[in-house]
A and B are shown apart, each in its own frame.
Chain A
């Protein structure tokens, strides 16, 4: 009999669910949205449908990410730092340094045998996060998904000197009016984010292999810029958005098996698959 486990990662921008048995059985990625506290159960329902399982089939559930406390049916909450390390180690075991570029923060994590050795986070300024690129894409009228590809056609990335997102937006529109090409501007935007992220992660004393996760990993222009700033190649897992949810699911499995081995049953959440009631 196979036991199934779930990891729910409620990030600031995207919500991810992974159901794990002897491998990934289902994964769902969707926007978090403003009502995310109420929607965790709906995302889980979708994942269960994809996995052809019932909620009762899940032996243990871990919630992670910024919204982790708002998942009433989760049996335990674990931070995204621990879950990213665990998930990434299962996908790319040689990686010692993880760079996660999310919607509203960026992080660096040093890992050893799947465990966190140290970490750094940028959560005070949008300039080193995916949000910076989103705002600039909006300003330039370029679809977010086209930013990476467009930047690869640049001949000379523009210099974006402002570190504040609001001022940088103004600077970008000024340069556009001054005749700078769109590819050069987009490449400059990626270099600006990569510079901020690299200076954050370098505090960790980077060791290869280095991997990138989060929405930033889906932007090839940003990945190339980051490789340049870090001075080493950067690995990308097959689906860079789910490493946190995957790590949470694997951790759920490990905790469950540890208890079982000791002849015990881990304590479960008493809430079933229901929405959080915080705002009612």
Chain B
């Protein structure tokens, strides 16, 4: 039984339309069969979005569905289901939540699951996995899923980018990584062609990639409006407004959403409307996925006069011109360059500051540009990829930049048993006092 929970307000009207977006994505996976379309289990930030869109494959995003389950505080039944088959609680809870859901759906014959949050996901015709450097569970998650969906073919590609080494010039290496990533994407296309029985329309793919580039640009233009004082939107909303970029890239709906958000933020700035009244402290959400069941904590920050004009999480794009991408007529090669440069374009800056790291350099850049007084990380225990590096990032930030107040919240993305609201708020209170003291000292 889902726990009763008060609704969470968002600051922008545009963000309030996001639940409809997410429901629409889930519903599309259930309707796909009637429309003769194929459904693929898909994983975010994998470079395969445009391939799926160009081939009319409907993506079913496990990370989104698990987030919905968590936000509705209704994930426990799936976590327990997975645990009953020996999946450890310390594994990625996005993975275990969706695997638990798959187990339930298969027991019910593979159709719709009656009590699934927002209808659940449709049974996939294929699994398009992609591990990446940013998420190690995604090597095994698709394979573990196949254990329950024996007839569903799996593709697990991976797109790498050069690791950061301050003594090494990555520019020489990039082209090799791009070549590898392009080939991975080409294999993905072949896999999709085989299992859809359709040929890729390369002109259509190129158009979709061009639309994605424009969406990336518009996203950044929109989010940079948040530099205003008071900021017209904070991370509490951004954890919603990331949906079109993250789950609907390459669609006109995503582009139109950010146009609407851009217009609304401009209007708010013109009216001097902020998130907190008065806005006393500006913070950066520097790393970590949020606790989807506790998004109301952003409002708790707001109630203390603290706002987040910027976050690293789900800002998975950059202005295309800033990436200085080489010209190519191959849309797959373009995606590969965009992916590699997205990560490496902080490397030169990081190299110039002894002891720094690209992730830290990115945080410093945002602190400076968005005029932040404090830094908040969220260490989600089941998200190893981010959890593991947070203390190192925090230490490096203090060492190479300045003694700025840092709060490391602890919890999880889906597993609510990791969370204690009273203690979390107590930490936030103490942190705000430290930020207040810091601001007074700096002034």
- Chain A contact residues, CB within 8 Å of chain B: 66, 78-82, 105, 112, 115-121, 123-124, 203, 205
Write the nearest CB–CB distance from A166 to chain B, whole angstroms: 16
Write the nearest CB–CB distance from A250 to chain B, whole angstroms: 14
Q: In chain B between 417 and 443, which residues have their CB closer than 8 angstroms to a CB of chain A?
A: 418, 420, 422-423, 426-427, 429-430, 433-434, 437-438, 441
Contacts known (A117-B403, A118-B405, A124-B410); A78 close to B423, Cβ less than 8 A: no
Whether B423 contacts A116 by the Cβ 8 Å rule is no
A78 partner, pick from B391, B422, B433, beta carbons under 8 A: B433
Give Cα A278 to B317, complex, Å: 49
Q: Which residue of A lies closest to B391 (CB)?
A: A203
Write the nearest CB–CB distance from B146 to chain A, whole angstroms: 34
B10 in the interface (beta carbon within 8 A) = no
A123 partner, pick from B403, B405, B406, B423, beta carbons under 8 A: B423
Give Cα A105 to B427, complex, Å: 12
Whether A119 contacts B434 by the Cβ 8 Å rule is yes
Give Cα A127 to B423, complex, Å: 17
Write the nearest CB–CB distance from A74 to chain B, whole angstroms: 14
Give Cα A205 to B406, complex, Å: 13
Whether A79 contacts B420 by the Cβ 8 Å rule is no
Consensus secondary structure, chain B interface: helix
Q: Which residue of B lies closest to A205 (CB)?
A: B395
Cross-chain pairs A/B with CB under 8 angstroms, 28 sampled: A66-B422, A66-B426, A79-B426, A79-B429, A80-B430, A81-B430, A81-B433, A81-B434, A82-B433, A82-B434, A82-B437, A105-B423, A115-B434, A115-B437, A116-B430, A116-B433, A116-B437, A117-B403, A118-B405, A118-B406, A118-B434, A119-B430, A119-B434, A121-B426, A123-B423, A123-B426, A124-B410, A124-B423
Q: Which residue of B lies closest to A112 (CB)?
A: B403
Residues of B within 8 A of A117 (CB): 403, 405, 434
Give Cα A139 to B22, complex, Å: 52
Give Cα A121 to B405, complex, Å: 15
Residues of B within 8 A of A115 (CB): 434, 437-438, 441
Give Cα A79 to B423, complex, Å: 11
Q: Which residue of B lies closest to A79 (CB)?
A: B430
Give Cα A120 to B409, complex, Å: 9
Whether B395 contacts A82 by the Cβ 8 Å rule is no
Residues of A within 8 A of B395 (CB): 205
Q: Which residue of A lies closest to B381 (CB)?
A: A124
Residues of B within 8 A of A121 (CB): 423, 426-427
Write the nearest CB–CB distance from B402 to chain A, whole angstroms: 11
